Amino acid sequence: MKIAIHAFDGMTMFHLATPLLVFGEVARLGLGDDWETRVFTEGGRPVRSAEGYVIGDVSGPEVADDADLVVFPSWLSELTDPSVPLLQLVRDSHERGATIAGLCLGAYPVACSGVLDGRTAVTHWGAARDVAAKLPAVEFNDSALYIDHGDVLTSAGTASALDACLHIVRTRLGSAAAAAVARQIVIAPHREGDQAQYVARPLQDPDLDGPLGRTIQWALANLDQDLEVESLAARATMSKRNFTRRFKEVTGLSPARWVLGRRLDDARQLLETTSWSVTRIAESCGFGSPVTFRQNFVAAYATTPTSYRTRFTSR
């Protein structure tokens, strides 16, 4: 797993450090000993960060020629047009099968290359409108934390790059590996919600000892039960309307979306770690039938449960 990470004059150290930390931790924990990260600049010359530090141990763009993953962690806030050679690097890497990741404003040079034309992408909410105006061929979502098309991934602002990098670890090595990395760097293995919760106002702290918190904990332990909003509201002794409002304040999601996400997460882990049949997993996770389970799984992960299991079993 060779990873090429782009750096440029004026980028912040945090943006550069994020993929280096997450992917480097994979190797340090022995989860993927062959994961190798290299930082490159267009001319192969040192660059100076926004904080004034010189980043000198860098390679030239040739390291992207055989990289499995090419990462653009950020971009200039002025949305300066990428150079022709850099755009060609993205296209060539994509064409030969490498995964392309544009994190935060790094989505801009990736989208400029054309590999996202006709598809959706996400970038920092503060720049989404300007980026969308410059690139009408791409549909920019100003709420998602990250969007993964399999071959191209983009993420929202700053810290959501951590979510996106962990997602890459999860898709390559499984949920257990992503959880191990997340535990080591002390962040959530999978953060729910979207960046809308950060745009409008801070997420409210949940009363985990109150009826809402107890209902959430009960739901997590009983995914095979009836978790319709009416049933959850009744368990929390709240009206449906008040429960739905408070639930979204706490989780960033509607009850239905949250339940589906939890069921899919549970199903994914069972596919990775057990030999249970698809029917048994569907029942255990609360899906009405194997057909419903498959439909929701394909919609979420663009692959069938059987194909997903085969991919991780072979590893």
Q: Which of 33, 118, 105, 27 is nearest to 71 (CA)?
A: 105
- Rounded Cα distance, 98 and 70, in Å: 7
Task: Please report, rounded to a whole number, the percentage of residues in the chain having pLDDT higher than 70.
Answer: 91
Q: Is the pLDDT of residue 232 over 50?
A: yes
- Contact (Cβ atoms closer than 8 angstroms) between residue 261 and residue 248: no
Q: Which of 125, 44, 112, 42 is nearest to 80 (CA)?
A: 112
As a whole number, the mean pLDDT across the chain is 89
What tokens were used for 166?
Answer: 């962990």
- Contact (Cβ atoms closer than 8 angstroms) between residue 253 and residue 193: yes
Which pLDDT score is estimated for 209? 60
What tokens were used for 170?
Answer: 């999860």
pLDDT by residue (tens digit) across 239-268?
A: 999 999 988 887 778 999 999 989 998 898
| Tally of residues, the chain | 315
What tokens were used for 111?
Answer: 């989208």
- Rounded Cα distance, 197 and 67, in Å: 35
Which pLDDT score is estimated for 202? 30
Read off the pLDDT of each residue in 291-302 and give the average, rounded to a whole number.
88
What tokens were used for 216?
Answer: 């959430």
Q: Which of 134, 97, 142 is nearest to 115 (CA)?
A: 97
What tokens were used for 295?
Answer: 């439909």
Which pLDDT score is estimated for 111? 97
pLDDT by residue (tens digit) across 104-161?
A: 999 999 999 999 999 999 999 889 889 999 999 999 876 678 888 989 999 998 889 9
Which pLDDT score is estimated for 207? 46
Q: Is the pLDDT of residue 204 over 50?
A: no
- Rounded Cα distance, 47 and 76, in Å: 14
What tokens were used for 147?
Answer: 């969007």
- Contact (Cβ atoms closer than 8 angstroms) between residue 14 and residue 51: no
H-assigned helices in the chain: 13-28, 84-95, 107-112, 128-134, 160-173, 175-185, 196-200, 211-221, 229-235, 240-251, 255-273, 278-284, 290-301, 305-313
pLDDT by residue (tens digit) across 159-199?
A: 899 999 999 998 899 888 888 999 899 887 666 555 543 43
CB atoms within 10 A of CB 7: 20
